[in-house]
Amino acid sequence: MVLAGGSHTGRCLLSVIALTAICSLLLLPLPMPAGASNVTAPESEIKAAYLYNFTKFITWPAASFSSPGAPLKICIFDDRPVGAVLRDVHGKSAGNRAIEVFQTRNPADVAACHILFIGSTDRNTRSRLIEATRGKAVLTVGEDEGFADQGGGINFFVAKEKVMFEINPDVIKRSGLEVSSRLLAIARIVRDTR
């Protein structure tokens, strides 16, 4: 709105440029990437939105919640600061549960999460976190190549300038979660290599 105010005060050329910018901004679907040019910049945002979207297609066992009204916890294991999108997700709901977003660096915390996002990290840390969540109702989401092959649930990757993801249904099944076939239909499927 500050820029719109500027269109009133600026010169004619500036106004045209500003209007074009506003229009393109407005047309941009918020959780969606709008074009190739800004893939890099909102990549983390897209992933954050996808994390939220996953809650629509994954079913957690009731036992993974302390009470019927207990919140669904999304844990971010990353050094980078949590983006605006994730802050928006905090407070939304999945079904009748509120969603809570945590940022943590402590591997001891991860067992209590429902979704654990593991930011780009070294192989050992990944293994340790995977080990920590094995057999627990925790959906592990990573963004490093080979994450799903190594026992991660879902792994983001970028192809054709698009953020895409792969799913290892075996891992998810072992975790006691259910994944919607609709999600599987749009994901790349990987199987255990071990």
Residues that bind other proteins (CB under 8 A): 27, 29-33, 46, 50, 53, 55-57, 94-95, 162-165, 180, 182-183, 185-186
Minimum distance from residue 21 beta carbon to other proteins (Å): 17
Contacts of 3 (CB under 8 A, 6+ apart): 18, 21, 22
CB 26 → other proteins: shortest distance, Å?
9
Specify the residue, 80 or 162, whose C-beta has the smaller distance to other proteins: 162
Instruction: Report the residue number, 75 or 154, with the smaller CB distance to other proteins.
Output: 154
What is the Cα–Cα distance from 104 to 193, expressed in whole angstroms? Answer: 29
Residue 44 neighbours by CB under 8 Å, 6+ apart:
80, 83
Shortest Å, Cβ 188 to other proteins: 11
Joined together, the tokens standing for residue 185 give: 């239909």
Closer of 163 and 190 to other proteins (Cβ) = 163
Q: Using alpha carbons, select from 158, 161, 151, 146 the residue that is nearest to residue 192.
A: 151
Closest approach of other proteins to the CB of residue 34, in Å: 9
Q: Are 60 and 137 in contact (CB under 8 A)?
A: yes
Q: Looking at beta carbons only, is 101 or 130 nearer to other proteins?
A: 101
Q: Which is nearer to other proteins, 55 or 133 (CB)?
A: 55
**Where do we find the tokens 């605006």?**
84
SS percent in the chain: helix, strand, coil, step 5:
40, 20, 40
Report, in Å, the least distance between residue 186 CB and other proteins: 4
Length of the chain: 194
